[in-house]
Each structure stands twice: as structure tokens, then as C-alpha cells.
Amino acid sequence: MDEVDESRAASQRLADAMRRIIARLVVVRPPAEQLDRAAEAANQFADTLEDLPVRSKSWEISEAGLQPRDFVNHSPLSGSANPIAPPLKMWIVDDGDGEYHMEGTVTFGPAYEGPPGHCHGGFVAAMFDELLGFVQLAPGFTAFLHVDYRRPTPLNKELTLRGWIESLEGRKRTIRGTCHLDGVLLTEAHGLFIAPREGKDYLGMFGEPAGGTSE
């Protein structure tokens, strides 16, 4: 394992620990002194990060093309190294004859609660935006996203996801997705995604990355 891979693995371990803290912090009420000690330690660690160079951004394009592993690692929905991500896990399923669809799983913990015991609908919509976006296997912008909430989405249950391309028309991609629990449909969505114009500076459209210029 090289230095970059070691750093990624360590980032994922730290994110896992932070997810555990977040999940417990929203459901328990520790003594104020315990929270103050934890806050002090967290701020001290944050101080050590302030002067470090900003990493090469996940959406950077090199001669090898878009670097999907970096993007997935730090995505706010599927990033195993991002502590605010549930995270989603997704993979490609080969349907033969050049066709495919995407499948995945996700478990929303208590940090994502909306109605008691159930996931906030906004996170469900964001989940579909991520899933349908990944179905493209290429850069594309969300132009429209519609979600049908058939049943409440429970917390702490592994949900199964499926996404597929319904139609292609020039740069327009219509994509659909579903979310089930034990075979029961909870939510479904469809969206319109637009591919960048050929030759367009895909990254230049967004300006400087958050956190400053990478080194």
C-alpha cells in the first residue's frame, strides 16, 4: 500500500469513527463536562489540519480522465471518507449486450431522522440524485429530479437501490431509480441529466475548489 492509499484508508477509519460519534450524539445526552472535553480535543485536532495543503480535489481531471475513486471517497452521499455520508454503496450490474444497471445499498442512521424513526425526505431525494447521477458513468448535471414517496423510509434498515437509464437523446439522459426494503417499494424517482457540451471546460465552470487552491 503506497502513501496515498494509506492516507485514504486512514481517512476512512477516521470518518467511520466520526459517524459513530454523530449517530450517538443525536440520541444521547452526555454530561456537559464530557462534551466540553470532547469539543476541546476535536478543536485541537481541527487546528492541526488548518495549515495542511488542500488535497487534490476529487473532481480533478488528469490525463487518465475523471478520477472516480477520489470523488466517491469524498462524496457527501457515497464517500466512505466523508463523515456526513451514510454512505451509499453502489456497483454496476452487467445485463449483457452492452446494457447495464446500477444497484446499491444504504442504511440511514439517527443523524438523518425526519419523522420519528424515519429518514428525512430531503436525504432520500439526495440519495436518488447520487444514484441516478452515477448511473450515467460520465459527467452530467441534474436538470430535473422527481421523487415519489410511496412509504416512509425507516432508519437503521439496509435499503436496496436500483438505477437505470430509461432513454438517451443527444446530451439528455432520462434515468430512473427505486428504493426497496425487503422487496417492498418505499420510494422511486426519475430525473433528467444533461451531459456537458463536447469540448466544454467541465471543471472550469465551477471556479476554485472549496477550501482554496489545491497543491
pLDDT per residue as tens digits for the range 77-124:
999 999 999 999 999 999 998 899 999 999 999 999 999 999 999 999
pTM of the predicted model as reported, rounded to 2 decimal places = 0.85
SS3 of residue 19 by DSSP = helix
Find the angle CA(196)-CA(201)-CA(207) to the nearest 5 degrees: 110
- According to CATH, the superfamily of the domain at 1-215 is Hotdog Thioesterase (3.10.129.10)
Residue with cell 442512521: 109
Q: What is the average pLDDT score of the chain? A: 87
Phi, psi (degrees; rounded to nearest 5) at 48: -70, -20
Q: Which contacts of 178-181 are long-range, i.e. CB under 8 A and separated by 24 or more positions?
A: 179/124, 179/127, 179/128, 179/153, 181/153, 181/154, 181/157
Give 60-82 pLDDT, tens digit per residue. Answer: 544 444 445 566 788 899 999 99
